[in-house]
Structure 1
């Protein structure tokens, strides 16, 4: 069922009917839906759970693993349609506004007084609907990272690649040493993550025209054909066991030295930290070749749903939103998660070299116009368009389709609404 058709089902469930707000006890129960289930992610969300428990609230965890949130979104729709909407749910990008359009979210303006001046403008606007804050952001993930096992890099006698020719040279050296050059999972969102990395390597303007504006001329250009050609060449460095592999298992291959490199957002750093690995000593974090001055951002947020039909946020929901944006929580959450605080001005003193580089690169990208939303992680387009493009990329990466026909399919997919 397409998202926009949910309106009828929501009405049938009684969620769009105004009813008098029920009295909420201080020790209210907070049902929280999210997809943070890997080691580093679970530790990060545990910080929030502990903070809310200390404030006297009961945390009911509803974690749904898989598909970069796809399974969680299916579960959320089921809950809302059945009239059992969670107190809060992890949602991001255009989906925030789409849920707000259904009239089932509550505003949290009363605790968002200083948010506008403490958030990057590109992110602040995502959190609004009809002039009200309806979502609280956790952190900023940079998607365009390349993770490299330091021992594998040294064994191959290579250097950190900054261009695609350098990358392929290093991959060949790793392969010669019996190391899987590139660890990858066989899930659609992982395919799209790699593809958008290569799109970004063509420059921020090219990325914006292709991914944000869906410009047909850019999507059908020879340059886009080259993007698919590069992706095809990268695929030759995967191992044969990637089908269905979760991203954190691919990260584990890099951690234990079975594989040399991985294209993945900086949530991967949480896995390295969980394995007691140190940036610069055990592994290297580097921008994807050709993307040093660009930054694809992925921002996780919680939206807050009407409870028992009330159009006002409960004390627990407001406390949850306020805690999420507090400097202390922003710092600790990101230290575990591998991200950087979304709130500006939070000290980076406790962060490792990768975190500090991410923050510095973020500020550079914002000023240079290279701060762009990730398509693969729900920030650039709605579900229908993103899904259609994902299908094109996944089909290409799991077949012998040629790049020119893939580009034609891409242009057609971009018209999906």
Structure 2
């Protein structure tokens, strides 16, 4: 090739290259509002981003920090009201139905049918993902809430021989940890974290049936019972073991105290495992996971899901719709389910995956989920938007937080206050 021809080729390629880039960028964009922002969570959601981008689409990340997702929901509501919703958003449980009633969601039935979602998903999960009989959301994982996380080295230094299995053993461990100079229970004083502990205590003291009556059915007798008084009294006792510097702290900051050996235990859902993994720690050796004492045999769950929104006129293009459908498709493929859940600390939502690729905590979670499903002790988490409306949940949060902040609050009156608050919120 002579110099002139080589120059012509270079000019031709240079001219074409911007067109190729433009074509790749114009295949479609999917914007996702979520609150996966801690180190381990960010690593997990990046897996989904990489797969979507590998398929030729652009991922527009709209992450909103804040455990529990309250801040993200505020942003989402503002966006939806202004007529500029994202392609998809992280939404849970009954809230999916509320968004569906506003006629803001679009279905992905074609994707679900093509990829056999009805046979991939447990029936309980599939039902949650539908509005008016149509799939409007894709589940990405199952989290167990009622876990106790332990640094065994710290417990050994404090003279605690084994992980506590009852509330009395939990208190005894707390006493020894405090006496040895450790933070007994790493805990961030935020409403959703306070209510996570409260929910676990309801399981432990009132059992699966009592939990259902109180926190799902909102039954007056259950909420105002002597057992509920026991729950609040236990919450007050557990508070005495919690991190004195934990007020307002995010859960991952508190988790770091257990990982570093400053604290012995943490009461938290299994997303906390993502922080241990990110720190290079191994389940069964560096840390232990056990059901919250007294709640063995019960499994409270939350399911992370991405809900699909109707796009604004400006963004409603074939490419952007294809990008949203691609997101829905890859979220339930084994490639994503394995890597995402290994990073996130949760377990896969699709049935039949080989759990030997997961650590001992995830294997225990999958086993307990299956057993609880058979036993009828699989319970949706109130604290994590799976069992009630945001208004009722907010009322419970307020009562629990007020009780925690007022050291003189009477446990015998708290249940009645909760029932009154729930009743007002439900109107």
Which residue of structure 2 aligns with residue 100 of structure 1? 100
- Greater Cα offset, 269-278 or 313-322: 313-322
Q: What is the CA–CA distance in structure 2 between the aligned matches of 1:311 and 1:262, rounded to whole Å?
A: 46
Correspondence for 1:4: none
Query: Could you tell me which residue of structure 2 aligns to residue 299 of structure 1?
Result: 303
- Does structure 2 conserve the Cα–Cα contact (< 8 Å) formed by 1:139 and 1:334? yes
2:243 maps to 239
Q: What TM-score, normalized by structure 2, do the two folds share?
A: 0.90
**Offset at 1:311?**
11
Q: 1:211 touches 1:375 (CA, 8 Å); kept in 2?
A: yes
Once residues 360 and 156 of structure 2 are traced to their aligned partners in structure 1, the CA distance between those partners, rounded to angstroms, is 19
Q: Which residue of 1 aligns with 2:341?
A: 334
Worse overlay, 49-58 or 196-205 = 196-205
RMSD of the TM alignment (CA)?
1.5
SS at match of 2:270: coil
CA drift of 1:111 comes to: 1.2
Displacement of 1:239 after TM fit?
2.6
Q: Please, which of 208, 220, 223 is the counterpart of residue 224 of structure 2?
A: 220
Equivalence for 2:378: 371
Output the CA distance in 2 between the equivalents of 1:367 and 1:31: 38
Name stretches of at least 5 consecutive residues in structure 2 with no aligned partner.
1-24
Match of 2:398 in 1: 391
Tell me if structure 1 keeps the 8 A contact 2:151–2:264. yes
**1:127 pairs with 104, 107, 129, which one?**
129
Contact 2:67–2:251 (Cα < 8 Å) also in 1: no
Deviation string, structure 1 residues 106-158 (Cα, Å, up to 9, x no partner) = 00011112222222222211111111000000000000000011101211232
The aligned residue for residue 14 of structure 2 is none
The answer for the alignment partner of 1:61 in structure 2 is: 61
Cα shift readout 1:26-65 (whole Å, capped 9, x = no counterpart): 7111111100000110000000000000000011100000
> Hey, what's the Cα distance between the residues in 2 that align with 1:366 and 1:332?
25
Q: Following the alignment from structure 1 to structure 2, what is the Cα–Cα distance between the partners of residues 367 and 58?
A: 42
Q: 1:358 aligns with which of 365, 373, 381?
A: 365
1:9 match? none
Unaligned runs of 5+ in 1: 1-24
Question: Distance in 2 between the 1:250 and 1:41 partners?
Answer: 15
Partners of 1:239 and 1:301 in 2: CA distance? 32
Distance in 1 (CA, whole Å) between partners of 2:122 and 2:201 is: 25
Q: Give the 4+ runs in structure 1 shifted more than 2 A.
A: 308-313
What does 1:256-335 correspond to in 2, within 5 Å? 256-309=260-313, 314-335=321-342
Alignment deviations for residues 230-277 of structure 1 (CA, whole Å, 9 cap, x no partner) = 110000011321111000001001000101000000000000000011
Matched with 1:8 is: none
Q: What is the number of residues matched between the two proteins?
A: 394
Q: Secondary structure at the match of 1:281?
A: coil
1:250 and 2:254 matched: yes
Q: Distance in 2 between matches of 1:311 and 1:293?
A: 48
Task: Return closer, same or farther for 1:26/1:107 CA change in 2, 3 Å cut-off.
Answer: farther
Tell me the SS of whatever aligns to 2:65: coil
For the residue of structure 2 that corresponds to 1:199, the secondary structure is helix
Distance change in 2, residues 1:324/1:29 (3 Å): same
- Contact in 1 for aligned 2:30/2:323 (Cα 8 Å): yes
**Pair 1:161-2:164 in alignment:** yes
Which is higher, the Rg of structure 1 or of structure 2?
Answer: 2
TM-score relative to the length of structure 1? 0.92
CA contact (8 A) 1:26 1:56 kept: no
Alpha-carbon distance in structure 1 between the residues aligned to 2:347 and 2:26: 31
Asked if the contact 1:120/1:344 (under 8 Å) is kept, the reply is: yes
Give yes or no for contact 2:174–2:184 (8 Å, CA) kept in 1.
Answer: yes
CA contact (8 A) 1:105 1:311 kept: no
How far does the alpha carbon of each residue in 1:380-405 deviate from its partner, in whole angstroms, 9 at most, with x for none? 11110000111000100111211012
Could you give the per-residue CA deviations for residues 76-121 of structure 1, whole angstroms, max 9, x where no partner exists? Answer: 0111112211011000011101001111110001111222222222
The separation in 2 between residues aligned to 1:183 and 1:298, in whole angstroms, is 22
Provide the rounded CA distance (Å) in 1 between the counterparts of 2:87 and 2:243: 42
Residue 144 (structure 2) aligns with? 142
Quote the Cα distance in structure 2 between the aligned partners of 1:255 and 1:51: 31
If each structure's helix is expressed as a fraction of its own residues, which one has the higher value?
2
Q: Structure 2 CA distance, aligned partners of 1:387 and 1:102?
A: 21
Q: Return the alpha-carbon distance in structure 2 between the equivalents of residues 121 and 293 of structure 1.
A: 21
Equivalent residues of 1:185, 1:242 under 8 A apart = yes
Q: The residue matched to 1:61 in structure 2 has which SS? A: strand
